[in-house]
Amino acid sequence: MKSTFSGKNLLLCLLLSACAGGSFDVDPVVVVSPPPPDDRANLLKDADTPPKISAPEAEGFMKPALGYSMPILRRNKSRTDAAGKEIANGKQAEEHLLLKPSDIRALHPTDIVAAPHRDELAKRQPDAGVDVSTPAQRGYQFVHAGYLVSDKFDSSVEFDRRKGIDYEGSEGYVFYQGRNPAQALPSQTVRYEGHWDFVTDVKRHRTNLFHNGDEGGAEIVGGGRQMGFEDLYGESTGAVGMAEIDVAKDKKLGFRARQHLSEFEVDFANKSLTGKLNYRPHQPITGDPDLPVRTRYTIDAKINGNRFSGKVKAVDRENPRNYFFLADSDFLEGGFYGGRGEELAGKFLANDNSLFGVFAAKQDNPADAEKITDAYDINISSSDAVALRPMSNFGSADKLLVDGETLSLLPDNNELLTRRDVTLPSGREVGVTVCCGNLSYLKFGHMRKTKLADDPAPVAAGADDVATDSAAFSGAPYGSFLFVQGERTRSADMPAEDGATYRGTWDGFSMKNIAWRSLPGSGTAEFKVDFGTKDVSGRLTETNGVRPAFYIDAKIQGNGFAGTVRTHADGINLDPGREGNSPKLLFRDVAVQGGFYGPKALELGGTFFNDEHKTGAVFGAKRQVSGDK
């Protein structure tokens, strides 16, 4: 991913961006200019912000993503080398094939039902049937943890003694994927229940097994039925959950479903998660009661935003039938999904690279939740419907997620505006202008994404109920947008005193009659907040500073607010330089929503949009305290 960064003289870039990239239409663009300095601003100053404590930046497969996958490996069992010569000492070309961290691939799905890499598997195994899990089997709406496996009997056998090739058995992937990263989470302790799956290394010899109690008849094997799996699994190809015959089937879920069970207790107040990955042993005697559940792994993790990371401990080591589940893991990571964190999913890799596991779970009766983050964009368009869409975000206002890539929104040298120009691995070019250097828990601005040849059409959406907003959560693949995202103040930490003033700026547009923009830094945003009466009153003013362009009236609801916005009575003159009648923007009672961000509601921000008038805006402001007069 290539990127360039610039900070100073940014206004020129903004003007060019607004003209060239602010819209994909051909309407003329009118951009207002920055105002002259206002000495009145010296009467108040920004409140001091405590240093922001962020989690260390994760690397590799520990970075947050919407999902991850690991391939199911096949071992080369050839007794000859690439030149066709016999390998010494009865060895095979590959005695032990460990899983590779470099094979773990991040996923960014728009559809969790479809298994990833299906086209890739079809190319390698064109004649093989495929076993694939489905989230609906287990009642999931937002996550999918499972497998995509070619049938071992249909899978191609590759054998050429002269070239040292001997492969057989299934191929495929074990994976998890999710949609709608949670923007709200419970504040109490909540229980989740679900399932888990896995893929193991491939090994020729794991241990000695004895036939019929005769210790003289030792056979050294690496998998298969002697070790609790169908033939070939573990020894020729990675062992997977659906092939573990020592685990009871789940008759309600179909032929391949095994009772690999997960359970979690999440203490959201203390940001901790504990869990167990269990299994129910197969009952060999028909008609007898089910055998009790056993635990293979325990989980201990910490929550950061809507993600969690931690460790896994193998606890079934004393089981004489356990040949695969012996190693701990320091590499567990996952997240919460759904509008209220109704479901969770994640993955882990054993410390010795012997096993890759995925898991998912859900609440049976979803608990009440409060907002922890906001992440939305508004498309700038005169032809398509102007709509508010939720964006994927992993709990940090400083990071913008675009097509699975993370862009830093941290300011350059504390300047008001920062620009990022990035070329993604896909070839898509992304330009981002972000405000403001004095805001730590809230970021907003403008984003432009170029179109690729295979881009699907944008999905229209406007609902704030992210629990029901599905495909739209991936956002429009290309176009020009305003965006806003922030880290909400906890409801318990909201101020109770009577009054506060917030000052900042805003970014807005209108596309109905003429392409008009007001850039951040050009106009001002000022809010009066009464935490006692729950009233929010705001004004968004254009550059001339004579009178506001927009008036906002709202009520505080928890750690956010909702209300209406209107223009001033005469409307906004969209082209003041035009002779004669200039087009105007005039409306009343358009919905506005926003939130409070950072410790003790230090920052405030929000958005409004209206398709009828082809208009929208995002805004942000910081709490003020008395300054030098």
Residue 564 has pLDDT above 80, yes or no: yes
pLDDT-based confidence at residue 465 (cuts at 50, 70, 90): very low
373 in the same domain as 358: no
What CA–CA distances, in Å, run from 475 to 116, 141, 163, 178, 556? 20, 19, 49, 15, 28
Retrieve residue 11's tokens. Answer: 């206004």
pLDDT-based confidence at residue 218 (cuts at 50, 70, 90): low
What span, in angstroms and rounded, lies between the C-alpha atoms of 72 and 148?
Answer: 9
Domain holding 285: CATH number?
Answer: 2.40.160.90
407 in the same domain as 347: no
| From 4-13, 56-65, 363-372, 562-571, the region with the lowest mean pLDDT | 4-13
Which of 336, 362, 388 is the last residue in one of the domains? 362
Residue 473 has pLDDT above 70, yes or no: no
Which of 301, 335, 362 is the last residue in one of the domains? 362
Q: In the beta sheet, which residues pair with residue 578?
A: none
With b for 16 or more beta-carbon neighbours within 10 A and e for fewer, the 546-567 pattern comes to eebbbbbebebeebbbbbebbb
Query: What is residue 162's three-state secondary structure?
Result: helix
DSSP string, 555-591: EEETTEEEEEEEE-TT-EES-TTSSSPPPEE----EE
425 in the same domain as 467: yes
Q: Which of 31-35, 213-217, 321-325, 460-464 has the highest mean pLDDT?
A: 321-325
pLDDT digits (tens, 9 = 90+) for 318-366: 998 899 999 999 999 999 999 999 999 999 999 999 999 999 999 988 8
Which of 362, 392, 408 is the last residue in one of the domains? 362
Residue 167 has pLDDT above 90, yes or no: yes
471 in the same domain as 506: yes
408 in the same domain as 336: no
342 in the same domain as 220: yes
Query: What local confidence, expressed as pLDDT, does residue 5 receive?
Result: 42
Summary mean pLDDT of the chain: 86
> What's the whole-number mean pLDDT along residues 506-520?
87
Q: In the beta sheet, which residues pair with residue 563?
A: 554, 592
> What's the whole-number mean pLDDT along residues 168-172?
93
Query: What local confidence, expressed as pLDDT, does residue 521 receive?
Result: 82
pLDDT-based confidence at residue 381 (cuts at 50, 70, 90): confident
- Looking at per-residue confidence, does 478 or 349 come out higher? 349
> What's the whole-number mean pLDDT along residues 402-409?
88
What span, in angstroms and rounded, lies between the C-alpha atoms of 595 and 597?
Answer: 6
Retrieve residue 611's tokens. Answer: 């398709």
Residue 397 has pLDDT above 70, yes or no: yes
292 in the same domain as 383: no
413 in the same domain as 319: no
With b for 16 or more beta-carbon neighbours within 10 A and e for fewer, the 338-356 pattern comes to bbbbbbbbbbbbbeeebbb
204 in the same domain as 236: yes
Total domains in the chain come to 2
- Looking at per-residue confidence, does 321 or 547 come out higher? 321
164 in the same domain as 69: yes
What span, in angstroms and rounded, lies between the C-alpha atoms of 573 and 547?
Answer: 12
- Looking at per-residue confidence, does 135 or 576 come out higher? 135
Retrieve residue 155's tokens. Answer: 């899978």
Segments forming the whole domain that contains residue 260: 60-362
Q: Which helix (H) or strand (E) holds 15?
A: helix 10-20
CA Rg value for the chain: 29
Q: Respond yes or no on whether the N-terminal peptide bond of residue 13 is cis (omega within 30° of 0).
A: no
596 in the same domain as 573: yes
318 in the same domain as 238: yes
Global pTM value: 0.86
Query: In which residue are the tokens 């470099």 written?
Result: 102
Residue 13 has pLDDT above 50, yes or no: no
Q: How many CA atoms lie within 13 A of 413 on its CB side?
A: 7
